[in-house]
Structure 1
Amino acid sequence: MRAGIVGLGRMGRTHAENIVNNIPSIKLVAACSIFEEELIYAKENLLVEETYTDFESMIDNANLDLVLVVAGAEVRPSMVKYAIEKGVHTFAEKPLGLTISEIEEVVEVIEKNKDKTKFQLGFMRRFDEDYLYAKEIIDNGDIGEITYIRAYGIDPSSGLDTFVKFAKNSNSGGLYHDMSIHDIDVIRWLTGREFKRVWATGANFARPELDNVGELETGIAQAQLDNGIMVHLVAGRNAPHGYQVETEIMGTKGWLRIAPVPEKNMVTIFDNNGVKRHCSASFPERFKQAFINELSHFVKCIKENKEPKVTAYDGLIATKVALTCKKSLEENKIIEI
């Protein structure tokens, strides 16, 4: 299948390199970016046939079967709508937009064209083998009724300086929309329940200058689902040891912990410094196979005319919860969803 991609930052390059190196059913033939260095990278490293600086031109002229929209969240809604209406199957990274109203417009366009054009959102944890195994255990009833979930999503400290520079010039959507949205989605998926109320707080101890741009270095949210399940979310950008993603599910008959230690691999080092295990350094490393699996699933859905497992509606609901967390932080109160 002929594919194009818009946006070749860290996430875009992850998807593009996975296609070129790991997904033979997709041929990356076109790339779009407003940055010349990204287009040079696409030609020299990805060997794409065509490069564009205008998204609509790529959709109109590159004869694509599918497109990956990995540009900034502020432009994703218009890009997704244009591609879908032109009949190009579309995979988009999260979040699908920065506001509820613009995401609702995207959902409407996708629903209107769903008989001819497929869409999938990039919630890759649903395709991670560890999370899939945990869901199987939950669905089998092996840990009983879920009572409590704790989820960590913290980026490595090595990226904090870069984020501070980004935050001074761009809108991430806020910590909960940018980071916790994955935990929000995976909790909805694991439990089959919806968020009912949230209370959030946060602070900037390592980078107090983020106060001036309305961003957070570390934040938490307490939540309750519609059946009473208690939830604790921790999101941040300052994990000194590496990329920390951990999920704990407590049930009436047992507990599950997914990646309590973010181990890089199964190797333990014994030397004059003691005993140690290396950690995953980034999300492309930790979820490499999940990223491959989600795109492979999307291609299969296109070929077999099936609905992808992750929908635009999932993105809409996760954004509603994330933005409610942000509102709770700003107003310092519990908010019903």
Structure 2
Amino acid sequence: MNKVKVGVVGLGRLGKVHAQNLRYKIPGAELTAACSIVPAELEYAKNELGVTDVYTDYKEMLAKADIDAVVIVTTSSEHCWQIEAALDAGKHVFSEKPLGVDVAQCKQAEAAVERHPELTFMLGFMRRYDKSYSYAKQKIEEGAIGTPYLVKATGIDPEAFVEGAIRFAKNSGGIFLDMAIHDIDLMRWFLGCEATEVYAMGATFKHPEFKEAGDDETGVAVYKFENGAMGMIHVGRTAPYGYHVETEIVGTEGSIRISAVPEKNQARLYNTNGVCAECVGSFPERFEEAYLIEVQEFVDCVLQGKAPGVSVYDGTKSTAIGYATTEAWRTGKAVKLN
């Protein structure tokens, strides 16, 4: 196999990012098919990507399209059955996060992956492939900050995209599964152990539609890990200035801060407002290179028969923590994890 023929399912904001990368930026991949239930997205595939083999039915694409692999960028609740269907059809699979919206779904995906050890499966925790985050991991492994014992993470989507978040709220799995899953994965990755207890709370001050959907616009969670380390997460959907993501890892001999200011670039504007730094506008912009690197790894793993750096089990563990966080948010009580 010289190239991996790929079908993408879901061509929303992030789906377009992956499709563009597959079509134009990854030499080992060939985007040959696309699937969406949204007619405008299929028109985008045909007109902007030159993909003429398009489908509204995912199972039909699996049965008929000339593809070796699928890239799944659909609603979170659809991921696991689509992963299973693709693997059972003999296709390699890359799926966006989260793996599933509950642990039972994740176990379904795990079983499918285990049935097909000959096929590559990779989950899209792209922050591990961001140069700043991978650098932080390297420095931690080198002992640059001693023993890490606290991870503090903030992730707030821009107010500019809040209407889309409101529409998605009923199917997102809740703010913690939807927005904190990357931070949960990074806490596990940086601390090198699993969470044992979580307490969470949420609030809605600006958009009551989130409450009406059974969700919140802002959430905070505190974690205890098996080695005594701690984690703190703040997620939200209403940053007025742009996309705000930052992480700090504190150790016995120092700390590492990533994106302490969510800046767009190194330029500074000096005017009557003072000294201003423009903020990055969205997650596809902030992690543009990471999205490319992770799918490049997926394609390389398919071509070379090697295992990706992120496994189905990472997805299950992070989902279990996210689900427990959601339970803690709903009940107002601390929840212990097995």
Normalised by the shorter chain, which TM-score bucket?
A: over 0.9
Choose the corresponding residue for 1:160, options 159, 162, 174. Answer: 162
Q: CA deviation at 1:49?
A: 2.8
| Secondary structure, aligned partner of 2:76 | coil
For 1:164 and 1:58, the matched residues in 2 are separated by 30
Q: Aligned letter for 1:156?
A: P
Residue in structure 2 matched with residue 183 of structure 1 by the alignment: 183
| Secondary structure, aligned partner of 1:173 | coil
Q: Is 2:44 the partner of 1:2?
A: no
Residue in structure 2 matched with residue 46 of structure 1 by the alignment: 49
Residue in structure 2 matched with residue 35 of structure 1 by the alignment: 38
| Secondary structure, aligned partner of 1:125 | helix
Q: Aligned letter for 1:53?
A: T
For 2:25 and 2:285, the matched residues in 1 are separated by 14
Residue in structure 2 matched with residue 293 of structure 1 by the alignment: 293
| Secondary structure, aligned partner of 2:127 | helix
For 1:181 and 1:165, the matched residues in 2 are separated by 20
Q: After the TM superposition, list the runs of 4 or more consecutive aligned residues in structure 1 that deviate by more than 4 angstroms.
A: none
Q: Is 2:73 the partner of 1:70?
A: yes
Residue in structure 2 matched with residue 12 of structure 1 by the alignment: 15
Residue in structure 2 matched with residue 92 of structure 1 by the alignment: 95
Q: Aligned letter for 1:63?
A: D
Q: Is 2:131 the partner of 1:129?
A: yes
Cα RMSD, aligned residues only? 1.1
Sequence identity percentage: 42
Q: CA deviation at 1:205?
A: 0.7
Structure 2, unmatched stretches of 5+, are: none
Choose the corresponding residue for 1:144, options 138, 143, 146. Answer: 146
Residue in structure 2 matched with residue 310 of structure 1 by the alignment: 310
For 1:149 and 1:163, the matched residues in 2 are separated by 26
Q: How do residues 110-259 of structure 1 correspond to structure 2 at under 5 angstroms?
A: 110-114=113-117, 116-167=118-169, 170-259=170-259
For 2:52 and 2:207, the matched residues in 1 are separated by 43
| Secondary structure, aligned partner of 1:29 | strand
| Secondary structure, aligned partner of 2:291 | helix
CA deviations on 1:211-246 (whole Å, 9 max, x unpaired) are 222111000001111101111110110111111110
The 10-residue stretch of structure 1 (263-272 or 52-61) with the greater mean CA deviation from structure 2: 263-272
Q: Aligned letter for 1:220?
A: V
For 1:73 and 1:257, the matched residues in 2 are separated by 30
Alpha carbons 2:75, 2:171 under 8 Å: kept = no
Q: Aligned letter for 2:183?
A: D
Structure 1, unmatched stretches of 5+, are: none
Q: CA deviation at 1:269?
A: 2.1
Residue in structure 1 matched with residue 111 of structure 2 by the alignment: 108
Residue in structure 2 matched with residue 55 of structure 1 by the alignment: 58
CA deviations on 1:270-326 (whole Å, 9 max, x unpaired) are 234432111110000000000000001111111111111111111111010001011
Residue in structure 2 matched with residue 279 of structure 1 by the alignment: 279
Q: Aligned letter for 1:248?
A: E
